[in-house]
A and B are shown apart, each in its own frame.
Chain A
Amino acid sequence: MKRHEVPQDANSALRGERKAVYALDEEGRYTVVASSGWQVEETVTTMAVELYAEQAEEARRRVWEGLAAPLEYHMFRRRLDIPTLAREVGMMRWRVSRHLKPNNFAGLGNRMLARYAEVLGIRIDELKKVPDA
């Protein structure tokens, strides 16, 4: 990649930050060039961000339909999935899966809720509810 080929597409995911890219200058020497981003990165980053957002929205609806526990919504909202959340709270996956069911979640004690709240960076009362729209 040559210096003039370094993309400057103002990737919106970077919010105005620039990243360092290695490219060849006119003499064929490598140099660090600050790039405002590449369209390609914007496409794939947006896909990843939107996937979590869609899953969170789906979970939010299912909570209102009584099919999922609020924990599922908060998990996706924090860009986590079951294996990752399980590793972060230090529990087996099947246990976390169980806690995503409304009945099991309702039966959780404060100590267990506090472990989830800590990992998710929210308060226990926030963990127990989801926004309505």
Chain B
Amino acid sequence: MPDTTAAAQRPEFHHSHSAHCESGVMSSLLRHYGLDISEPMAFGLASALAFAYVPIIRVGGFPLFAYRMPPGAIIKGLRKSLGVKMRLHHYRNEQAGMKALDDHLDSGRVVGLQSSVYWLPYFPPDMRFHFNAHNLIVFGRNEAGGYRISDPVFEHTVTCPAADLQKARFVKGVFAPRGLLYYPERMPTTIDYDHAVGKAVKKTAFRMLKAPLSFVGVRGIRTLARRLGGLPSSGTDPRYARLLVAQIIRMQEEIGTGGGGFRFMYASFLQEASDRIGQSHLSEAAAAMTEAGDAWRDFALAGARLCRDRGNSDYAGLAHKLFTCAEREESAYRMML
């Protein structure tokens, strides 16, 4: 297991444009420290794909909709599946947290951070919401005392003043980052892809098909479809119904998913995995997952039309599209078992 303390001799850091923050950060960090792993591979090996619709947890006044596992699951999942030893530090004291970051940069180490999206000034104003589990990489400082950042969801590297980065790292609330800073400490020398892929794929399929909860996995998609099909009911404000649909689509498309609520990224993982370990059933599953992603895009398109056009209240049609998503996903997961 090569140690990463000799970080100063590392080559210059390369930014790459990713769909999702956590998988993007992990892919870039691992590549920097010597393990060539794509974003979809990082996402898939961590078994990060999911679906959940949880009405009792409210996010900004709406039920929780999730197309992936909770924040931190990719970092944790890759530790297990690849055998990477990660170091994770939280800081109670803000100055200590900033100093630790500076010390790592001084020693030539590139690190990942968790942050809020709202307080990062380089985000476009309309994309700034109070989501506290964003991930980014800091790879240097500039002359003005700001930080050079590789934010995976941006096409190019950005810079951020120290005061703003500090605020973004130490916000409180749901998913409070508490200054989280992380980096790989020891890298594996070889990876048994046969084993890692087989395990990760089964885990995802099992969770999506067999979770004994009505709000998780394929069952969760169907539960949501039934809820939408019942709209607009007498007890629901028509305006709220539209905002609810908008919220689902935001979680699916806007919040860095690579399109179709991570389904295309996952299909890309299945394709890559199939090539690597030569198992044709995974390439069939990739094609099925692509169809599922297309169904989700179709749903989003119809949903946005409903949001825009006040005369349109075809919730039944929307529910039908969601049932199609559930059906296509189910067939993809069956191929993965």
| A residues with CB within 8 A of B | 1, 6, 12-15, 17-24, 29-30, 32, 34, 38-41, 43-49, 51, 78-81, 83-84, 87-90, 119, 121
Beyond the given pairs A30-B268, A40-B304, A87-B172, 15 more chain A to chain B contacts, judged by CB atoms under 8 angstroms and listed by A's residue number, are A13-B127, A19-B256, A32-B18, A41-B250, A41-B253, A43-B308, A44-B246, A44-B254, A47-B243, A48-B129, A79-B129, A87-B174, A88-B172, A119-B171, A121-B167
Q: A30-B40, A45-B250, A79-B129 are in contact. Are A21 and B271 (CB under 8 A)?
A: no
Tell me, rounded to whole Å, the shortest Cβ–Cβ distance linking B8 to chain A.
Answer: 30
Inter-subunit contact A89/B172 (CB<8 Å): yes
Tell me, rounded to whole Å, the shortest Cβ–Cβ distance linking A75 to chain B.
Answer: 11
Identify which of B28-36, B101-109, B200-208, B290-298 touches chain A: B290-298
B333 interface contact, C-beta 8 A: no
Contact of A17 among B155, B243, B260 (CB under 8 A): B155
Contacts of A89 in B (CB 8 A): 172
Contact of B124 among A14, A24, A43 (CB under 8 A): A14
Inter-subunit contact B17/A40 (CB<8 Å): no
Inter-subunit contact B254/A32 (CB<8 Å): no
Contacts of B198 in A (CB 8 A): none
Contacts of A23 in B (CB 8 A): 259, 264
Tell me, rounded to whole Å, the shortest Cβ–Cβ distance linking A84 to chain B.
Answer: 6
Tell me, rounded to whole Å, the shortest Cβ–Cβ distance linking A11 to chain B.
Answer: 9
A-B contact pairs, 22 of them (CB 8 A): A13-B126, A13-B127, A19-B19, A20-B18, A20-B19, A20-B258, A21-B259, A22-B259, A22-B265, A30-B268, A38-B253, A40-B303, A41-B254, A44-B253, A45-B254, A48-B246, A49-B126, A51-B243, A84-B60, A84-B173, A87-B172, A90-B172
